[in-house]
Amino acid sequence: MSEQSAHRDDKGEQSAHRALGLTDHEFDLICEKMGREPNGVELAMFSLLWSEHCAYKHSRKLLRNLPTEGPRVVMGPGENAGAVDIGNGYSVAFKVESHNHPSAVEPFQGAATGVGGILRDVIALGARPIAILDSLRFGEPDTERTHYLVDGVVRGIGHYGNCMGIPTVGGEIYFEPPYEQNPLVNAMCVGLARTDEMVRAAAAGAGNKVVLFGSLTGRDGIGGASVLASAELDEGDDAKRPTVQIGDPFEESKLLECCQELLAEELLVSLQDLGAAGLTSSAGEMASAGNTGIDIDVGLVPLREADMEPFEIMVSESQERMLAVVEPSKVEAVLALCTKWQTASAVIGEVTDSGTFRILKHGETVGEIRVDDLVDGCPLYDLDPEEPAGWTYPNRVMIEDEATPSDITLSLLSSPSIASKRWAFEQYDSIVGSRSVHRAGAADAAVLNIPESGRAIAISIDGNGRRVACDPFQGTIEATLECAANLAVVGAEPLGVTNCLNFGNPEKPGVAWQLGRSVEGLAEACRALDAPVVGGNVSLYNETPQGPIYPTPVVGMVGELPDPDKIAGENWREGDAVALLGPFDPSLAGSELEKQRGELGKGLPSREIGPVKAAIELVRDAVRSGAVRTATDVSDGGISTALAELSISSSIGFEGELSALIARRDCSEDDALFGEGPGGFIIAGDAAVLEKLGGQGVDFELIGEVGGNELILEAGNSRVEILVEEAAAAFDSLEDRIESDQAGLTH
């Protein structure tokens, strides 16, 4: 295949580049840069590295506006993961990544390999992964397809993390119709490393050897590029071309230990994981970052199937593989350690000073591309944004007109997006590693003990796509603020942010507008919070003939706290006073209730970040001082839902009223009870202690008292009155809705 050209005038391969996703313009550009037409191997490599996924061609310009610097930043965007300093010589590395499409095709393996992939990004920095979080989006859980996807994805995520011995400590799941055909599976990994032992991915030192280790290379994930295969191979051979990647956490766990030992023994110059586009992207990016050239001999790559073509070897996405640059004198020791950990390894090439990426097969050149052309040559596109005139997503009525405030509260609690996700999270090992700080019923932010630094870290992940669909700018600000609010409740202060931008087709003006406004919102919120964005991922083209998904920026935030013994939870006590704190100005726009009423529309009220930030800081300080032991932020479902959740988690009721809020905000009763928006905290405790939080420049009012077995909440003439038991039953109803027709067959 290598000898043939991929000329577009050549009849048989006329549209090879198009079938591979390259435009005619891009193909011409490649020819121009190379001074000739690429052969098949080269074309396959270009098509992948110039893909949206690898080249960020529609998003890179936007991402440049994100704040990425700060005193605690150790590694920012551009590395395999971002990292921030947590003191005492330690850093935490973290990143969130999507595996949406593979999970739509094969939910178990798709989710499992999504976790495996993000773990390797963190492992590649020399960090030991200490936590996983997941952010999932599905359609409403009332179809066989959604049940199948939820079951497979949750099992897949659990399977990988559980087998690896890395705790899955948090996450979120939303169920919304636009995700029905295009679920989102985002996974975040946090790792811990000694700052001075972290490695970068850049290849260095001409003459150094390139070592591939881990799983054998097979035909996994050769998706788009199989077009080349069918052009080359006989008809009917397609069955030999699996595209589904299979995860093997056992292999990855050996790989992790092996990498840790290789680095501890100082045997590596640099390290890189193999992810999308396999060897092509990892070797290419290593050479690009190090301003070197690189030679790879596909004849030296340990294969699972003997008869693989050079292009297949170069683009295979077989999982659980790493690439290292090693000084010649240390190669033997590296291979010996790989043997100790029962993982395959081989020297497959060499770093050169040629500036070119040469592909050889048993010493004979089969492809040759300038590293710059391959890695940085892809044109970056400007978007062509246009704000859509109205609400472009469907509306469905899910609640009766005559529902009383009590009915509404129960309906919100049992809404799949709000209901307890215990069913899912109990399938995850959340305690392995002995760092997880246990707080009964608490879910706002995960807290991990870091004795190495003498502190703890908190992690939150958030992204309500529905609100972003209403208003991409405000919605993304809110997602970021919510992460910070979740951290505040455990006394943590933001250190850094990662994000995954899940959007539809950016070539459509409406989606382009969503993407642009969302990134602006992220940038604005991160700047205001002094929380630099140290990494992330972009997943575009999330749409089906039914339309695009909700624009879904998933924000992951890592913070630090001085004392894991002083964090607020969701357990209140009989007789506690309860207060509403913060500039919360509730509105039904974009709320869960508006969704249930089928009345969603464009726009969210804009809110200033400053006062929200002040409330976040006040809560954080109060929690740190030990004054507040019960706190939560007001989120989906509004105040009635927040109070109900607190009642449920401690099995004690509440009685109170919201007249002060209604007067202050001049809002409706529904707004007060069920409205959403940023900047609201519910805190509980000793009245005298709470009152000290008033009069500090942050809106504050006592709203009631803990006690009894009912949740009673008055707002003007509206009254919610439900038994805590009833609320708990509604809140625990997700399992019954999900687990109806799945089989729970273990793979």
Partner 1 sequence: MIQARVLIRPKEGILDAQGKAVEGALPALGFDGIEHVRVGRIVELRAESADRLEELCEKLLANPLIEDYEIETIAE
Partner 2 sequence: MKWGVLQFPGSCDERDALNACLIAEASLGGGGSDSGSRLVWHEETDLSGLDGIVVPGGFSYGDYLRAGAIARFSPAMTAVAEFAADGGPVLGICNGFQVLCESGLLPGALLTNERTRFICRQGDLIVGDANSPFLSELEPGQKISIPFKHQSGRFFAPPELLEEIESNNQVAFRYAPGHNPNGSLNDIAGVTNRAGNVLGLMPHPEHAVEEFAGSTDGLGLFRGPALAGAEA
Ligand X SMILES: Nc1ncnc2c1ncn2[C@@H]1O[C@H](COP(=O)(O)OP(=O)(O)O)[C@@H](O)[C@H]1O
* 17 is a catalytic site residue: no
DSSP-derived 3-state class of residue 282: helix
Under rule CB under 8 A, residue 746 binds partner 1: yes
Per CB under 8 A, contacts with partner 2 among 564-603 are: 564-565
Q: Which does 80 bind (CB under 5 to 8 A by kind): partner 2, Mg ion, partner 1, none?
A: Mg ion
Give min distance, CB of 406 to partner 1, in A: 32
**What are the DSSP calls for 606-651, one per residue?**
---HHHHHHHHHHHHHHHHTTS--EEEE--TTHHHHHHHHHHHHHT
Backbone φ and ψ for 125, nearest 5 degrees, come out as: -80, -5
Q: Which does 63 bind (CB under 5 to 8 A by kind): partner 2, ligand X, partner 1, none?
A: ligand X
Q: Indicate which residue of 7, 17, 58, 99 is catalytic.
A: 99
Under rule CB under 8 A, residue 741 binds partner 2: no
Burial bucket for residue 379 (CB in 10 Å: 0-12, 13-18, 19+) = exposed
Under rule CB under 6 A, residue 121 binds ligand X: yes
Contacting residues toward Mg ion, per CB under 5 A: 80, 121, 273
Strands 718-723 and 710-715: antiparallel
Closest CB to ligand X among 58 and 358? 58
Give the integer Cα–Cα distance in Å for 427 and 153.
11
Which one of 62, 104, 164, 375 is in contact with partner 2 (CB under 8 A)? 164
* 99 is a catalytic site residue: yes
Which one of 429, 471, 669, 714 is in contact with partner 2 (CB under 8 A)? 429
Contact criterion met (CB below 8 Å) for 467 and 518: no
Under rule CB under 8 A, residue 426 binds partner 2: yes
Q: Indicate which residue of 53, 58, 147, 159 is catalytic.
A: 53
Give the integer Cα–Cα distance in Å for 408 and 641.
10
Give the integer Cα–Cα distance in Å for 157 and 168.
8
Q: Which does 305 bind (CB under 5 to 8 A by kind): partner 1, Mg ion, partner 2, none?
A: partner 1
Under rule CB under 6 A, residue 323 binds ligand X: no
Give min distance, CB of 742 to partner 1, in A: 7
Which amino acid is present at 236? G
Under rule CB under 8 A, residue 260 binds partner 2: no
Give min distance, CB of 162 to partner 2, in A: 6
Per CB under 6 A, contacts with ligand X among 57-116 are: 63, 66, 77-80, 95
Under rule CB under 8 A, residue 242 binds partner 1: yes
**What are the DSSP calls for 481-509, one per residue?**
HHHHHHHHHTT-EEEEEEEEEE-S-TTSH
DSSP-assigned beta bridge partners for residue 367: 359
Q: Which does 253 bind (CB under 5 to 8 A by kind): partner 1, ligand X, partner 2, none?
A: partner 2
Under rule CB under 8 A, residue 342 binds partner 1: yes
Closest Cα partner for 80 from 117, 48, 125, 133?
A: 125
Strands 681-685 and 577-581: antiparallel
Give min distance, CB of 744 to partner 1, in A: 4
Closest CB to ligand X among 63 and 706? 63
DSSP-assigned beta bridge partners for residue 627: none
Per CB under 8 A, contacts with partner 1 among 293-332 are: 304-305, 318-319
DSSP-derived 3-state class of residue 97: strand
Closest CB to partner 1 among 232 and 686? 232
What is the largest distance, in Å, between two alpha-carbon atoms of the chain? 83
Say how many residues touch partner 2, by CB under 8 A. Answer: 36
Which one of 374, 437, 487, 609 is in contact with partner 2 (CB under 8 A)? 437
Under rule CB under 8 A, residue 434 binds partner 2: yes
Which one of 249, 290, 583, 638 is in contact with partner 2 (CB under 8 A)? 249
DSSP-derived 3-state class of residue 52: helix
Under rule CB under 8 A, residue 560 binds partner 2: no
Contact criterion met (CB below 8 Å) for 99 and 275: no
Which one of 152, 472, 532, 536 is in contact with ligand X (CB under 6 A)? 536
Give the integer Cα–Cα distance in Å for 684 and 313.
60
Contact criterion met (CB below 8 Å) for 277 and 49: yes
Give the integer Cα–Cα distance in Å for 575 and 562.
29
Give min distance, CB of 275 to ligand X, in A: 5
Under rule CB under 8 A, residue 141 binds partner 2: no
Closest Cα partner for 255 from 192, 333, 124, 343?
A: 343
In residues, how long is the chain?
Answer: 747
Closest CB to ligand X among 523 and 720? 523
**What are the DSSP calls for 77-102, one per residue?**
BTBSSEEEEEETTEEEEEEEEE-HHH
Q: Is the four-CA dihedral 61, 63, 69, 75 of positive or negative sign?
A: negative
Closest CB to partner 1 among 135 and 162? 162
Per CB under 6 A, contacts with ligand X among 267-306 are: 275
Closest Cα partner for 422 from 115, 738, 744?
A: 738
The position carrying tokens 């897949």 is 156
Closest CB to partner 2 among 597 and 629? 629
- Interacting residues with ligand X (CB under 6 A): 54, 63, 66, 77-80, 95, 121, 275, 499, 501, 533, 535-538
Residues taking part in catalysis: 53, 99
- Interacting residues with partner 1 (CB under 8 A): 105-106, 108-109, 144, 215, 218-220, 239-242, 244, 246, 248, 250-251, 304-305, 318-319, 342, 740-747
